[in-house]
Every structure is written in C-alpha cells, then in structure tokens.
Amino acid sequence: MNNRDPRYDILFDKVNIGPVKTRNRFYQVPHCNGMGHLMPNSVSAMRAMKAEGGWGVVATEECDIHPSSDVLPYREARLWDQDDQKRLEIMVDAVHEHNSLAAVELVHNGHAVSNRYSRLPVMGVSDLPVASYDPVQAYAVTRRDITAIRRWHRKAALRAKDAGFDIIYVYAGHDLTLAQHFISRRWNQRCDEYGGSLENRVRLTRELLTDTIEAVGDRCAVAFRFAVDELIGEEGICCMSEGRDIVEMLAELPDLWDVNVSDWANDSVTARFSDEGNQEPYIAFVKQITSKPVVGVGRFTSPDLMVAQIQRGVLDLIGAARPSIADPFLPKKIEEGRLDDIRECIGCNICVSGDWTQSPIRCTQNPTMGEEWRSGWHPEYMNPRGSSASVLIVGAGPAGLEAAVSLGRRGYQVTIADGGDGGGRVTKEATLPGLSSWRRVTDYRFGQIDKLANVSFYPGSIMQVKDIKEFSAEHVVIATGSLWRCDGIGRATWRSVLEKGKLDNVFTPDDVLAGVESISSPVVIYDDDHYYMGGVIAQLLCSRGLNVTVITPGPEVSHWTQNTMEQHRIEASLRQHQVSLVCKKTLVAFENDEVITSCNSTGAKYSYSASSLVLVTARLPLDDLYFDLAGESEELLTSLPFTISRIGDCLAPSTIAAAVYDGHRYARQLDEKVDPDKPSFRREQAMIYSG
C-alpha cells in the first residue's frame, strides 16, 4: 500500500553509491547496541527489522579489525578472523532478505581502547595514555606497524566483501579511531611523514581509503565516516578550517561521505540540549565540495525536514541511528502515508545507555528494541489474542497506555481508567526544562488508542475496589505509578532521616511538579537518584529566582547520565545557572533550617543553610489498590474472579523506558504459557570447547 504524500516522493529515490544502489534515501548509520559480537543472532534480527521497515541501508556498529583494537568491555562487532565473518554473515543475509544494502564500519581504535581482553600493547599515533582511566599507555606506532595496520584493514575489508557486505567503511570520527587520531593536532605529535602538516596527518586515512577501494571497490562501495568538527574550536578539527580542508583533499576518493560531529556525545546529543537537525551548520558545506553522495544525521523524525535537507542540498541520504531505533518502520510509514503512526524518537538516549552499561539496547518509545530475536517481538505486529477476552487497566501512565495499545492490537476488549487526564509521570515531567519531547511517549499511545475500536479510555475515573469487582473484567491490571519518598531513604541512606509530617519545608519532586509555591530560598536539593530529576528541578527552581544548592552522595551531579552522555552538559548548565554543587556527601539530618551531611570519605559532618529541602531519593509504588484486592500477603489472589497484576512503577519504580517495556511484556504474555521458573526469552550462550 502506497498512500504517501507526493511531497515525500523524493525520499524514495534510488541513490547510486559507487557500484551499488540504494532503494531509497533512508540510511541507518552505524550505531552501537550493547550486543555486538557476543550476540550475533540478536544483532542480526534487530538490523533485519530495520530493513523490513524500509531502511535502504543498514549498517553495523563499529567493527574491530584486529586484536590490537580490543574494545572490551564494550560489545561491538568484530572481524578479526573467519569465525567473526560467519557471525556477521547472519546479519548480511537477514538485511538482504528485505532488499536493503548492508554496511560495515571497520575500525582500529588506537588509544581509545585498553586491550583488556587481548592484552596486547596498545597502538597509538603517539606515546600517550589511553583514553580511559586505565593505568595504560599507548606506544607510537612505527612505519612497520602502520604497514601492519593497513594490512589488517585490507584483510578485514576482504572478509567483509566475502561476507556479502555492500558498503565498507573507513572510519575517522568520534575521537575513537586511529585514523582520526593521526589527523588530530592534539594527538599527533609525530615528526615523520605521518605528522606535522595536515597532508601528512591525513596520509594514513588516504592510504586506508585507497587500500580499501583497491581491495573491494569492484563490487562494494567504500564509505568514509568523518567528523568534520569536534566542537572545540581550533584546538581540534573544525568545519571552518581543517575539517573543510580534509573534505577538499579527499573529495572524490570515497564513494560516500558519512559526515557528523565529534565526539559521540556531540553527535548524539540529547533532546534536552539540542533540536532536530542540529548538525546542519557543521556539515552543510560537504555537498558543495564533493560530487559523491553525502549522508548525515540530526535525530530526524519529521519527513518535512528530511525533504528540506535534500532539496536544499545539505544531504543526499537521511541518516539515522536513534530514530531508527524508536521506529524501525519509520520509512515504510512515510511511504504508506501513516505519519501519525510513527513512534518519534524523544532524544532521551536510553538506547545509548545499553552500550555504556554493556547490556542489550533498549528504547523508551519502542519496547521491542533488542527483543526481536530473544523474545520474538515485532514492533508492528502482536501475537493473536489468547483464550480470554477482557482487560481492565487502572492507570494511564506509560505502562498502562502501552499495555492498553498492545492488548488492543492483540484483539482484547480493553478498558483503561485514570483518575486524571492520563499520561501519568510523562505528562508531568514533560513540563520540566528541556523534556518537552518526552510528551511524544503518551501522545503516540493516545493516538493509537483512538484508532482501536476495542480500547476505551475513561479519564477522570477513580477506581475503587468495589468498582473493579463490579466491572467483571477477566483480567485487572494496576498501573497506578509511584510517588517520591519524603523520608530521605535512597541508595546511600537505608533508614528514615526525616518525617515530612513534622516539617513543612521538606518537598519532593511530586510537590515541585504539582506547582507548590511555598518553596523558598535558600533551597537544598538532595539528589540520591542520580539520573535527570535532580538536575532539571534545580534548573526549574533557579528559573524562579531561587538560590539552589544540589547535594549528592554520588561522585558528580546526575552521575548516571554519564550513560546517556549528558552529564557534562547537565553540570555545565547548572553552573551557568549558578547552582552550587556538592558531591560525595550523604544526608544525615535536616533540623533548624540546616541540612547536615556526612562526607563519604572521612565521615566528617558538614552543614548547609536551607529554608527548603527537596528530596530526590527513592520512590514508593502506589500499590494500595492492588493489595486491597489481592490481600496483604496476596492470599486472596486465587479467590478473585479475575487475575490481577501490577505493572510499571506500581510494581518497581524505574525509568519510563522500563515502565513502557513492562506494559508491553504484560500484553505479550497474557494468556501465553510462561514458565515462571525459566527465562521467558532465548539466550545466546558461549560455545563450550572440549580438548
């Protein structure tokens, strides 16, 4: 079915890339996934879903070419030998089944790795410490080493060709690659023909491109992924100077230019700190210089902006990582004229956290991401309805809404009731500074509910035990969310240090989100949550003219956001707002308008004046309704005329992504045979060798 708006026809033009041709302009650029070479079946199914959804090109994550570029503990692709080739062939075949092109991003990481697995000496452009805090240094490669690196890259390219890849990358971006380290004036301290002048510093990149073209260019396109700007001015590569010069030097050499900014935190900046299409000012010049096709990214979710980028000569191909994760079927939905069915990326970077925590990729918008192989989940299709027919869901937050939509698609008669207007924590948190895009989580699901005749939503409906029993549903789901604790219990404090009933000047994020006006300066925010909430509340209260101090037992403010690559921006923003930051201090007491803390290292006590204290610690599930029905010890479960379950924050408060996932999991498993004593998903396990 093709009911697309003619305005978007240009997005479905075929594009020649050297000896290959794409079926459209949608290009899933290389992106990590936390699964890599250890989970080839999972990666293959995830990439295949992108191809099925209409992405004309589907790329791997970075792919190490040799044990001297061992990125452990991160789970990236590998192409060290024939066994690695076989693992990647699974992905290539799966992508080709849907008539898409498969691309592989070859890389030697230089001093960006520590070789923790291979235990080989680290090879770098110069004698420098490795990029991590490991007590390891890289040694400056010799000409003989450079010859070996070129050989390894060429052999990996040939293996990639034999595996069936259509596009093979030379990678010089994100400050993660040896090629970029050679280009960089910061890292390249050499005095030979590979150092000094820009021409010398680009020499290795030119050689890698030439080697790859000679090895595989008869059948495969050769792409060059290059960061045209490091956003650190003239200290680094800059699009106004050396970035442009490099494009001019290599303009016609690769078959495709994949351009972005460096480092990764700049390339994949969160929606809190950037808008869609934010890279255009840096990359727009590239197409003016080269006749070869250009792909770039910008968290593109709007087809109008995609078309504008092409028509204005910024890009030839619409690159995406995060939008293709949020909706693998984004291209097909544009093609079929179903724009309101697109799950738009919210730019929260929970997907990125999978790589940093070495765990399978996940997504706030798309709960099936990473579950394609291990659970058999498809983002567009649900398993058929089981033996029962009706479900009542109490609570229309992210978990309840996802459960309602997914159960509706399975064919159940679903009623969802909410005491307010629905949306739960998402609706509230989307009002906080920088988080407005998060509203897409509920907007998408309300839009889908409107299309499902078998799903009914009743806002302003407070359900009591009597109401639920009289409703006569076969299944009841309690998705009533959670509230922030007001007693100080969190990760660092396991016993209550406060009693809010006796202190009118102690508040929680729920109070702030409710618009409580009695918060007065000076304000101390005690953040033992370590994600985004403490920082955004500090920013909000500063905007009201309050004097704010953030105290955290963590090593830095909003510490967990290192995994979403925004901690440095959060801290910079708070400092710009003149928020005082106090780290490694644990709350002990709040009395006489004094916050008393204990130093994590020495135990020494410190006090801070505070007219108001905001506690961002742990949350308590709002599960009274569940236990009123199930019994305090769940002893009534077997006597109820319906099944009853808790989902999302009502069961275990966590991220919005976790709540959406839990709602989806419930919907998938209802009436299915699930053994509670066994994993409900397939595992990829290491082969056991004997002898």
Neighbouring residues of 291: CB distance < 8 A, sequence distance ≥ 6: 251, 252
- Taking Cα atoms as reference points, which of 111, 242, 101, 255 lies closest to residue 166? 101
**H and E: helices and strands count for the chain:** 23, 29
Are 243 and 237 spatial neighbours (Cβ–Cβ below 8 Å)? yes
Integer Rg of the chain from CA: 27
- Whether residue 263 has a cis bond before it, omega within 30° of 0: yes
CA distances from residue 226 to 156, 213, 256, 298, 572 in whole angstroms, order as listed: 19, 17, 11, 15, 27
Are 559 and 552 spatial neighbours (Cβ–Cβ below 8 Å)? yes
Are 357 and 80 spatial neighbours (Cβ–Cβ below 8 Å)? no
Q: d(Cα 544, Cα 195) in Å, to the nearest integer?
A: 53
Given 166, 267, 527, 528, which residue is catalytic? Answer: 267
Are 399 and 445 spatial neighbours (Cβ–Cβ below 8 Å)? no
**3-class SS string, 433-485:** CCCHHHHHHHHHHHHHHHHCCCEEEECCCCCCHHHHHHHCCCEEEECCCEEEC
Given 32, 345, 348, 486, which residue is catalytic? Answer: 32
381 catalytically annotated: no
In the structure encoding, which two tokens stand for residue 196, read together? 């000094």
- Taking Cα atoms as reference points, which of 630, 538, 624 lies closest to residue 582? 538
530 catalytically annotated: no
Given 66, 153, 174, 181, which residue is catalytic? Answer: 174
Q: Which helix (H) or strand (E) holds 539?
A: helix 533-543
Q: d(Cα 670, Cα 673) in Å, to the nearest integer?
A: 9
Given 74, 169, 171, 626, which residue is catalytic? Answer: 171
27 catalytically annotated: no
Are 366 and 660 spatial neighbours (Cβ–Cβ below 8 Å)? no
- Geometric angle at alpha carbon 435, from 430 and 440, rounded to 5°: 65
171 catalytically annotated: yes
Other beta carbons less than 10 A from residue 35's beta carbon: 28
Q: d(Cα 497, Cα 488) in Å, to the nearest integer?
A: 6
Cite the active site residues.
Answer: 32, 171, 174, 267
